[in-house]
Structure 1
Amino acid sequence: MPMPENSPLWVKSSYSMQNGDCTEIRPHPDGRTDVRDSKDPAIGLLTLDRAPWAAFVAALRADA
């Protein structure tokens, strides 16, 4: 059963700026992760399976 879009389980990075220009994530128990734009969540979300999410995070860390 999908979680509602206003689920309190959305997480914003501690590195987010105060103006709200950031992304939020919502992990699922099965390993998928939802990603959305925090300033306009109504435009939708992107759901990534475990491997693509891990690759995305690894790329961000490598670029940091």
Structure 2
Amino acid sequence: MNNNEKMVMQYLDENFDLSYFQVVDFPFLPGGKIVIDQNGEELLFYYDFLNGEVKWKMPNKK
């Protein structure tokens, strides 16, 4: 696990009860993880190394 991924996982551990979510790798962004809830809703988390913080995006729905 690289440092970007560690930062994202630390953020997720601190802010979510991960027993209620599925976490999937998203290797196209630094430390990228897709978090999927029990209803199938998704959030994308990644480490923004330019600003030194974890950021998230909600994918556009089709």
TM norm structure 2: 0.40
Instruction: Determine which structure has greater relative contact order: mean sequence separation of CA pairs < 8 Å that are 6+ residues apart, divided by chain length.
Output: 2
TM norm structure 1: 0.39
